[in-house]
């Protein structure tokens, strides 16, 4: 049997960075994402966010790709939110997302970062945070 655990810090936003994820909505949505992930044998260690985006610390297993995990989490959660009228308007996620590997030694630091999202975003917008990630991790913008 193979033993695989690859830690991923994934971040995705609402379409057009709409600020629709209130505290109540986030609580229900994150609970659902956790339950859905468990059913699909995805391990979500920590999830949190702010009004326009989500941070998720998760572990990939041997037969999952990041693209598949993101499709399962983002697609299914939007479908569930809309089916259950979680918001007045339709919940749509932006197509793009950010995902980087996290070393075992940095897990607690990433957890703390994710835990303090509301505080963090009093000083920094999601756009600025996203741009910071793009630069910090050496990604190149297209288009």
Percent of the chain predicted with pLDDT > 90:
73
What is the number of domains present in the chain?
1
Residue 74's Cβ-count burial label (10 Å; 0-12, 13-18, 19+) is buried
DSSP structure string for 54-92: EEEEEEE-TT--HHHHHIIIIIHHHHHHHHTT-SSS---
Domain assignment present for residue 142? The answer is no
Q: How many CB atoms lie within 10 A of CB 49?
A: 22
- pLDDT bracket for residue 142 (50, 70, 90): low
Render pLDDT for 56-79 as a digit per residue (tens, 0 to 9): 999 998 889 999 999 999 999 999
Q: Is the pLDDT of residue 143 over 80?
A: no
Structural domain boundaries enclosing 77: 6-136
Q: Is the pLDDT of residue 80 over 50?
A: yes
Phi, psi of 139 (to 5 degrees): -80, 155
Domain assignment present for residue 143? The answer is no
CATH number of the domain that 11 lies in? 3.30.70.1290
Domain assignment present for residue 88? The answer is yes
Listed range (7-16, 42-51, 93-102, 117-126) with the worst mean pLDDT: 117-126
Render pLDDT for 5-17 as a digit per residue (tens, 0 to 9): 899 999 999 999 9
For 106-128, what is the mean pLDDT? 90
Domain assignment present for residue 1? The answer is no
Render pLDDT for 3-46 as a digit per residue (tens, 0 to 9): 888 999 999 999 999 999 999 999 999 999 999 999 998 999 99
Q: Average model confidence (pLDDT) for the chain?
A: 92
Domain assignment present for residue 77? The answer is yes
């Amino acid at each position: 049997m193979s033993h695989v655990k690859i830690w991923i810090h994934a971040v995705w936003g609402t379409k057009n960075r709409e600020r629709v994820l209130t505290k109540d909505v986030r609580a229900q949505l994150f609970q659902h994402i956790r339950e859905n992930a468990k059913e699909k044998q995805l391990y979500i260690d920590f999830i949190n966010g702010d009004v326009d985006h989500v941070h998720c610390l998760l572990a990939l297993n041997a037969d999952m790709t990041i693209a598949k995990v993101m499709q399962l989490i983002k697609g299914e959660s939007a479908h569930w939110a809309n089916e259950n009228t979680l918001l007045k308007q339709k919940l749509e996620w932006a197509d793009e997302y950010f995902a980087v590997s996290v070393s075992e030694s940095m897990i607690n630091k990433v957890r703390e970062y994710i835990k303090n999202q509301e505080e963090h975003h009093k000083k920094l917008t999601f756009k600025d945070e996203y741009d910071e990630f793009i630069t910090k991790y050496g990604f190149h913008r297209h288009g």
